[in-house]
Amino acid sequence: MDKNTIIGLLLIAGILFTFTLVTEPEPQEQVSKTEQVIKDGLDNNVEAVDSADELANDVATVINLDSVPETIKQDPAMLKEYMDSLEMVEKIKIELSQFAAQQENFGIFTPGVIGENQYFTLENDKIIVRFSNKGGRIVDVKLKEYQSWKDYNAEGTDVVPMQLFEEETSTQSLRLVHNNAAVETDDLYFEKQNSSRNELVFRTKTSDPSKYVEYTYTISDNKYDVGYSVAFVGLDADIAMGDVSLTWQMNGFCTEKLASDERMITTVMYRRFNEGRDYLSESGDDELLAEDWEGSMNWVAFKHKFFSSILMSDDGFKSGYLVKKQLEGEKYTDDYYANLTLPAQSVSNYTFYFGPNEDDVLASYGNEMEGIINLGWGIFRWVNKIMIQPMFDMLRGTGLGMGLIILLVTLFVKIIITPLTYKNYKSSAKMRVLKPEIDKINEKYVDKKDPMKKQKETMALYKATGVNPMAGCLPMLIQMPILLAVFRFFPSSIYLRHESFLWADDLSSFDSVWDFGFNIPMYGDHMSLFAILMAISTLFYTLMNSSQMNTSQPGMPNMKIIMYFFPIMMLFFFNSYSAGLSYYYLCGNLMNMGIMWAIKKYMIDEDKILLQLAENKKKPKKQSAFQKRLEDMSKKQQQGKRKK
């Protein structure tokens, strides 16, 4: 302990002793003044923290039972309060001891350990961003144009902006290596340097005013993003610049009607430079470990169902790891976590995005962030991007209701695939016409002793009549990507969110005409009328379609049972799914039945097809390579039997 510190301690002790005898303050008043003296001493001489224990001991010595005035000793109530004040001094002593230990851990950043939490806000016409000086971080974000389902008001009065996350379950902290120890900025109080309508600057408190970490947040009008600049000033010799990492974590709020449905589409997404986006599993817990980190990340996104919290870097995050854990209950969806290594440079610039998963908004950033909207993989995504989405956006621009838009999208899709549907039905008609002759061949070889002869005779019939049994498969295969692409499109479209139609109050979630008040396993706690109508229409379409097909082929005796069981499965699956999707499939089934009826009545004449096939039999035929192989296989089989 140096000379100045000893003199200071003695002076403080003397002053306290004299002041106690002369003024005889109330016990609580004496404790307050004692605490302030200690704090003032530390604030004026940070380097003297090592003397904290001695300072507290000196104060406790001054305030002891021997020095208590007689008037206090004789009054039990006052004596109790006085003894409580001694306990308060002991607490202060413990706090000061802890502060001394913190100086060893935090070093130059020790002054930032003490402070009071303060909040600041940046706001534009899109978002409200709240900051805390504790960690100098973003603590919550609200979207002014959107509401969570629990706060939704269809009349648009008393609008409550939607909050994506909260302070208590979120983190944004830099990890600095200083004096071989890790310092988390989340433990430090920052000082606000200046603020304006669109800028806020935080700076760490240090024992050297020329050395600090500075955060600059900026916000622009009509934008969902927040600029985030990190500057290390004068700290090159104090921290390991190559080991600076950012921890970003949050529990995402449930903002939609059904939390379990929301969790099916929430995840952590990311993009490496010069590559497409990738993501962790949507169906459960998942992680991307540091050893699996390949190349620099351009951005990392905490994807909610219809919104995203994204951190972008032009320089890239060199390494790190990502974790996503599904949570239970109705308040949160997932626990999102990212640990990102920052570039070893004095100033780094980043951008936060807190906004909707709208294709045009995300695409404006030019880094393939629109890939966050999960429109399916491979060909399904291309179908949605090239056909379904442009058609949907065009109709949406007309101002029509969402129910009518879905109906028109369904109609346009059916018109586009009608030529393929016609070819499929025509192929089925040809197979129906040939069915009596196929049945005769099956009866001829009912004992299954010579399957190659049966196959050869069947193929000869197909060749003679000019019928290709696979002709109906190609149109069906071409249609499937179009029919299945919408399975991803409608549940991912934010434009269905809070859009009502008929009895459905939100086309992006399930509709309910009866809430049971209890849960039925695999079905739910409600009854979706759109799902029921869709399942019924699927059943009728299956019945109608099966009459056009040969479903009694040998080896497939249960095909009809499978076809009829499928609509029942859909009833359970779609009960808690998007009402807009169920409505789309309902419209599609009704249109399919109408198209099938029209084709059969006005475009396909089975009597004419039968005559055409009969004419085809009279024409000379050239043996195909496939038929030649079948014939050769049959001959070899017969030769093998003769040898036996």
Mean pLDDT, residues 13-20: 53
For residue 190, pLDDT beyond 90: yes
pLDDT score recorded for residue 410: 92
pLDDT score recorded for residue 560: 63
pLDDT score recorded for residue 156: 65
How far, in Å, CA of 558 to CA of 418, rounded?
29
Whether residue 395 contacts residue 409, with contact meaning beta carbons closer than 8 Å, is answered with: yes
What percent of the chain shows pLDDT beyond 70? 69
For residue 127, pLDDT beyond 70: yes
Residue reference for tokens 């300072």: 55
For residue 305, pLDDT beyond 90: yes
Mean pLDDT, residues 88-102: 59
**What is the number of helices (H) and of strands (E) in the chain?**
17, 21
What percent of the chain shows pLDDT beyond 90? 40
pLDDT score recorded for residue 270: 95
pLDDT score recorded for residue 466: 63
How far, in Å, CA of 548 to CA of 431, rounded?
9
Q: Which of the four pLDDT bands, split at 50, 70 and 90, describes residue 130? A: very high
Can you give the length of the chain in residues?
644
Q: Which of the four pLDDT bands, split at 50, 70 and 90, describes residue 470? A: low
pLDDT digits (tens, 9 = 90+) for 47-88: 444 444 454 455 445 445 555 566 655 666 665 666 666 666
How far, in Å, CA of 519 to CA of 260, rounded?
13
Which of 168-177, 212-221, 323-332, 562-571 is predicted with the least confidence, judged by mean pLDDT? 562-571
pLDDT digits (tens, 9 = 90+) for 237-275: 888 888 899 999 999 999 999 998 899 889 999 999 988
pLDDT score recorded for residue 373: 92
pTM for the structure as a whole: 0.76
Instruction: Return the higher-pLDDT residue of 403 and 195.
Output: 403
pLDDT digits (tens, 9 = 90+) for 482-522: 878 888 898 899 999 999 999 999 999 999 999 988 888 88
pLDDT score recorded for residue 107: 81
CB atoms within 10 A of CB 411: 13
Mean pLDDT, residues 106-118: 87
How far, in Å, CA of 213 to CA of 218, rounded?
17
Instruction: Return the higher-pLDDT residue of 267 and 456.
Output: 267
For residue 352, pLDDT beyond 80: yes
Alpha helices in 214-325 (DSSP H): 259-263
Mean pLDDT is highest, among 40-44, 196-200, 235-239, 477-481, for 196-200
Instruction: Return the higher-pLDDT residue of 69 and 46.
Output: 69
Whether residue 126 contacts residue 144, with contact meaning beta carbons closer than 8 Å, is answered with: yes
Mean pLDDT rounded to a whole number for the chain: 80
pLDDT score recorded for residue 31: 42
Which of 126-140, 333-347, 443-457, 542-556 is predicted with the least confidence, judged by mean pLDDT? 542-556
CA nearest neighbour of 33 among 100, 88, 99: 88
Mean pLDDT, residues 443-456: 68
Mean pLDDT, residues 441-449: 67
Whether residue 348 contacts residue 229, with contact meaning beta carbons closer than 8 Å, is answered with: yes
- What are the respective helix, strand and coil percentages of the chain, to the nearest 5? 50, 20, 25
Residue reference for tokens 């952590």: 268
> Which domains occur in the chain, in start order?
3-112 (no CATH), 115-374 (2.70.98.90), 396-618 (no CATH)
For residue 543, pLDDT beyond 90: no
Mean pLDDT, residues 425-452: 71
Give 79's DSSP letter. Answer: H
Whether residue 321 contacts residue 287, with contact meaning beta carbons closer than 8 Å, is answered with: yes
Give first-to-last CA distance, the chain, whole Å.
110
3-state secondary structure of 30: helix
Instruction: Return the higher-pLDDT residue of 38 and 563.
Output: 563
Which of 18-32, 247-261, 429-443, 607-621 is predicted with the least confidence, judged by mean pLDDT? 18-32
Mean pLDDT is highest, among 11-20, 208-217, 567-576, for 208-217
Instruction: Return the higher-pLDDT residue of 184 and 420.
Output: 184
pLDDT score recorded for residue 85: 65
